[in-house]
Homo-oligomer: A and B are copies of this chain.
């Protein structure tokens, strides 16, 4: 258990170390847009890591548009100034450690939008999916079990009904982190789980009746506890 956590953490760290070394290399050698980086094999030897590690790091930088790998040719710097490049790498190195409050703040923002869009665009199929998630949540809560997963699945169903694939994808990507932290910090107590049933139903009804403004309001009510966690004085 502990070993696993440490090892995964180490791996993330290894990749970040390599990214930092690539950054230093770029700065030290004064590489400019279009210039070619040393080959993956050379970097692996120079950094004392495997070529796979180097490739993973390069892929990450490539995804964010900083590098461009051309098969049978090499890896090149994209057309970005050195200042912006360093700034983006700094951001990328900080990607792994988002704070929970910013996560909640973002979730609220996204969901107030998705619930509005869902009210406007939901199909009958969407409606059924939301209803199923709602029922599953209610069952779990009433039987006294933990229902964090079912809670989030209800919200994911709404995101899907929004008809906006990107928001759906973003919700999907932040949900695991939310679940983890909810379990860790116990943001919601049992009482709120019970109240949640009614609040979920209100949101569902608003979506069903295609009342976007009301749906948003009901979602705000549902997020009351999160608002407090996010902006409130204590903690």
Contact = CB atoms under 8 A, between A and B. Distances in A.
Nearest to A160: B91
B175 A98 contact: no
A51 to B, nearest CB: 14
Interface in A45-93: 56, 59-60, 63-65, 71, 79-81, 83-84, 87-88, 91-92
Nearest to A133: B84
Interface in A127-158: 129, 132-133, 136, 149-150, 153, 156-157
A136 B94 CA distance: 24
B172 A170 contact: no
A97 B168 CA distance: 12
A167 B106 contact: yes
Contact of A65 (B87, B169, B179): B179
Contacts of A56: 5
Given A5-B59, A88-B156, A149-B79, A94 B165 contact: yes
Contacts of A4: 71
A174 interface: yes
Interface in A171-195: 172-177, 179
A6 interface: yes
B102 A165 contact: yes
Nearest to A100: B166
Given A5-B60, A106-B166, A167-B102, A95 B172 contact: yes
